[in-house]
Chain A
Amino acid sequence: MTSYRKPRQAVHVVALAATMSVSMITYSAAYDTVPKQQSPLFVKAAGTSGATKSQENNATVFIQSMGDQVIKYISSSNADTTTRKEQLRGILLQNFDMNTISRFTLGVHWKSLNAEQQKEYQSLFENMIVSIYADKFSSYQGEKFEVTGASLTTDGDYSVTSNIVPLNGQKIPVKWRIRDKESTGTFKIVDVEIKDISMIITQRADFASTIQNNGGNAASILDSLREREKSTQ
């Protein structure tokens, strides 16, 4: 099991989330109705070299390719539910850094679990994600997905901007934070934001509330995930 690549950054985000109260939303332009709360995860780096441009292009291609994979998955298979879920799991693991995501979403409680519990947690977490998206994709109505650009962030990750385009309606902006973890040109997604709302921070808040409501017992998250898994089988 690999460790976090950027532990200091993770600590920073924990501190940010913990100290944020009900904050106000500001606007940079009268015609722009999208909240402008700049996440520290998506601060654009100053200056752009040729190599960076190339990597930004690769980042764009990576996310578009992932989107194409999902659309193809949704629209092509007639396989049974179990097979479909395994196909989806393959796409998920190919494109997402599930180790980093699962650890981040458990926050400080990760260290409270022993190695066996950590392993089970990551397996249950992965199953939850697969189950949720298998269900969601079954109600897909033809929304389009378009990638609009990419930029290097100050912490070395890439932020890829995109839109989900409904059949009739306003585009929904989605940002993907991706990382070349091993510096081999192989990207993995570590976070997704809808209108600047981070999915992994929201997920961590959800898990934190579950654990807090169970007396602060980190292992209770396993019970909740097991229960959820049983109810969806």
Chain B
Amino acid sequence: MKHLIAIFLAFSLLPYALPAQAASTTSEQQAAIQDMRKTTLDTLHKLEPAAKDEIEEAYGYAVFTSADIAAVFVSGGYGHGVSHNNRTGADTYMQMASAGVGIGIGAKDFSTVLVFSNEASYREFIQTGLDLSANIDLAAKQGSKGDAATGADGILPGVRIYQFTETGLLAQAMLKGTKFWPDQNLNN
């Protein structure tokens, strides 16, 4: 529990990820994630200016950073994030993990921003999380998108997703083998 945030630092290759000092208390961890949210959104706004209005007008949004796991024969990512309800101003702290290699996936550390257009999709996300770890339909539909942001209507209705590294938006969202879930420790 003490080192929930320090995982960021262990893998920190993102210049905009978190302050260079490990947070130890719950409030420090939350503050570090809030800082991450701000810097991540600032980066997205520079990369995709239209996203600023879209996020402000949405029901809610979630911001994550994920760092590469590079040890033994394990390939994936792990990260933390926060969801924000634009209507109420409430925040929900979250975690994410992913596994897999992939043909076209070259990014090691990246940020993910999910934009929720309605209350139902947002509430479902913050209450129970999202498990995309075995969804072949999603993988197929994702693959057909060439857009920087992926909506995947019918699979993730009411959700638009941006993923990017420090060098730019990813051509295709990397959601295969990914889970998001509320952070029980930071939300209590």
Identify the A interface with B (CB < 8 A).
16-18, 20-27, 30-33, 35, 37, 66-67, 70-71, 92, 95-96, 128-129, 132-133, 136-137, 139-141, 143-145, 164, 166-170, 172, 174, 189, 192-199, 201-210, 212-213, 224-225, 228
Identify the B interface with A (CB < 8 A).
3-11, 13, 22, 68-76, 78, 95, 97-105, 108, 124, 128-140, 142-144, 155-156, 176-179, 181, 183-185, 188
Q: Is the CB of B136 within 8 A of A18?
A: yes
Residues in B neighbouring A213, C-beta threshold 8 A: 140, 143-144
Of the candidates A95, A128, A169, the one whose C-beta lies within 8 Å of that of B3 is A169
Q: Is the CB of B131 within 8 A of A24?
A: yes
Q: Is the CB of A205 within 8 A of B177?
A: yes
Q: Is the CB of B179 within 8 A of A197?
A: yes
Residues in A neighbouring B99, C-beta threshold 8 A: 192-195, 197-199, 202
Of the candidates B73, B144, B178, the one whose C-beta lies within 8 Å of that of A92 is B73
Give Cα A174–Cα B71 distance, bound, in whole angstroms.
11
Q: Is the CB of A169 within 8 A of B7?
A: yes
Q: Is the CB of A169 within 8 A of B10?
A: yes
Give Cα A92–Cα B130 distance, bound, in whole angstroms.
32
With A22-B130, A197-B98 in contact, do A192 and B73 touch (Cβ < 8 Å)?
Answer: yes
Q: Is the CB of B129 within 8 A of A169?
A: no
Q: Is the CB of A37 within 8 A of B97?
A: no
Residues in B neighbouring A16, C-beta threshold 8 A: 134
With A33-B185, A192-B99 in contact, do A70 and B73 touch (Cβ < 8 Å)?
Answer: yes
Of the candidates B72, B100, B184, B188, the one whose C-beta lies within 8 Å of that of A145 is B72
B96 to chain A, nearest CB (A): 9
In the complex, the chain A residue whose C-beta lies closest to that of B97 is: A195
Residues in A neighbouring B140, C-beta threshold 8 A: 208-209, 212-213
In the complex, the chain B residue whose C-beta lies closest to that of A139 is: B70
Q: Is the CB of A209 within 8 A of B131?
A: no
With A16-B134, A22-B130, A196-B133 in contact, do A203 and B102 touch (Cβ < 8 Å)?
Answer: yes
Residues in B neighbouring A167, C-beta threshold 8 A: 10
Give Cα A143–Cα B75 distance, bound, in whole angstroms.
13
Question: Could you list 9 examples of A-B contacts with CB < 8 Å?
Answer: A25-B128, A31-B185, A143-B69, A194-B69, A195-B78, A197-B97, A199-B75, A213-B140, A228-B103
Residues in B neighbouring A208, C-beta threshold 8 A: 136, 139-140
B109 to chain A, nearest CB (A): 10
Known: A169-B11, A170-B3, A198-B133. 12 other contacts (CB 8 A): A22-B138, A25-B129, A66-B72, A70-B71, A132-B75, A166-B10, A168-B6, A194-B74, A198-B99, A202-B102, A202-B177, A213-B143
Q: Is the CB of A136 within 8 A of B68?
A: yes
With A22-B130, A25-B129, A197-B179 in contact, do A128 and B103 touch (Cβ < 8 Å)?
Answer: yes
